């Protein structure tokens, strides 16, 4: 899969979970990976793992709730590696509460990290991609962008919004040869889904997807060129109801 050799990939939320798995998978394919998250220890550890294995990675401490941090993230990535070829908006946060009990600060955080940060990062990288007439963005969506789930009001609102934003960006950038994908998994075994799994009585963990399975799908999207195009790739747990 040498299409990814030396490609510059910016991945948010790459310190753990799905983002970490995507970073490792991209680096194995020879991409230059710039990872962003708040917890420096985690992104530094992933960067070290990649660099020790002969890959190329940097870690950039970023709070995606901050517009200036997002601008700095893109600037530092491009200073280190050159123009971003692939942006993977992966970082996310999930907190559970019925709508009547969602605090304003919880609402603001979930909308800010899951949706506003995606808009800000895309607005930062798209002009360069449009000028170069190439580029790819993968927005990590969710089943919660397609359906409603109790106690996930803010999360569902953000993930539905992500679909709307992705549709518009795809329309606006198609003539520049840019590809905008949404990768929408169901339940994945990560820290983000811990509270949810506990609320469902910690059902069989083997039935939950691994971050590596999602990373495999991201690799597929990143190497899809030519006449074929996947707008949204939905990954459901095998045990969940087909076609929902």
Ligand X SMILES: NC(=O)c1ccc[n+]([C@@H]2O[C@H](COP(=O)([O-])OP(=O)(O)OC[C@H]3O[C@@H](n4cnc5c(N)ncnc54)[C@H](OP(=O)(O)O)[C@@H]3O)[C@@H](O)[C@H]2O)c1
Distance CA 41, CA 90 (A): 18
Radius of gyration for the alpha carbons in the chain, expressed in angstroms and rounded: 17
State the binding string over 37-56 for ligand X (x if CB under 6 A, else -).
xxx--x--------------
**Choice from 113, 120, 137, 163 touching ligand X (CB under 6 A):** 113
Beta bridge partners of 138: 88, 181
Q: Which residues, 175 to 214, sit near ligand X by CB under 6 A?
A: 185, 187-188, 190-193
CA 104 vs CA 63, 109, 148, 157: distances in Å: 19, 9, 20, 14
CB of 235 to ligand X, least distance (A): 9
**Choice from 11, 13, 70, 129 touching ligand X (CB under 6 A):** 13
Among the listed ranges 8-16, 164-172, 174-182, 217-225, the one in contact with ligand X (CB under 6 A) is 8-16
Contact of 1 with 29, CB cutoff 8 Å: yes
CB of 128 to ligand X, least distance (A): 22
Q: Which residues, 114 to 173, sit near ligand X by CB under 6 A?
A: 140, 142
Encoding tokens for residue 176? Answer: 């520049």
Q: Does 26 bind ligand X (CB under 6 A)?
A: no
Q: Kind of pairing, strands 178-185 and 135-140?
A: parallel
Non-local CB neighbours of 20 within 8 Å, separated by 6+ positions: 14, 42, 46, 211
CB of 218 to ligand X, least distance (A): 11
Q: Does 62 bind ligand X (CB under 6 A)?
A: yes
Q: Does 59 bind ligand X (CB under 6 A)?
A: no
155 is an active site residue: yes
CA 191 vs CA 45, 67, 113, 213, 219: distances in Å: 17, 25, 16, 16, 22
**Choice from 10, 77, 90, 173 touching ligand X (CB under 6 A):** 90
Q: Which residue has the tokens 């963990």?
A: 205
**Choice from 30, 44, 49, 65 touching ligand X (CB under 6 A):** 65
Chain residues that interact with ligand X, rule: CB under 6 A? 12-13, 15-19, 37-39, 42, 62-65, 90-93, 113, 140, 142, 185, 187-188, 190-193
Active-site residue set: 155
């Amino acid at each position: 899969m040498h299409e990814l050799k030396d490609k510059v990939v910016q991945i948010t939320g790459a310190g753990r979970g799905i983002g970490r798995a995507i970073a490792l998978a991209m680096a194995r394919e020879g991409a230059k990976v710039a990872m962003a998250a708040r917890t420096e220890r985690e992104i530094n550890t992933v960067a070290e793992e990649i660099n020790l294995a002969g890959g190329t990675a940097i870690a950039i401490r970023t709070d995606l709730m901050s517009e200036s941090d997002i601008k700095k993230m893109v600037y530092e990535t491009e200073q280190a590696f050159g123009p971003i070829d692939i942006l993977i908006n992966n970082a996310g946060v999930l907190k559970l509460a019925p709508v009547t009990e969602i605090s304003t600060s919880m609402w603001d955080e979930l909308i800010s990290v899951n949706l506003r940060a995606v808009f800000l990062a895309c607005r930062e990288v798209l002009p360069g991609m449009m000028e170069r007439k190439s580029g790819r963005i993968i927005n990590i969506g969710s089943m919660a962008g397609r359906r409603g789930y109790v106690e996930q009001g803010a999360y569902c609102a953000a993930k539905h919004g992500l679909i709307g934003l992705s549709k518009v960006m795809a329309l606006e950038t198609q003539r520049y040869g840019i590809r905008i994908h949404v990768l929408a998994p169901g339940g994945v075994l990560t820290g983000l889904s811990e509270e949810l799994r506990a609320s469902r009585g910690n059902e069989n963990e083997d039935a939950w997807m691994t971050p590596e399975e999602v990373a495999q799908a991201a690799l597929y999207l990143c190497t899809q060129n030519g006449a074929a195009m996947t707008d949204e790739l939905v990954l459901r747990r095998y045990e969940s109801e087909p076609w929902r």
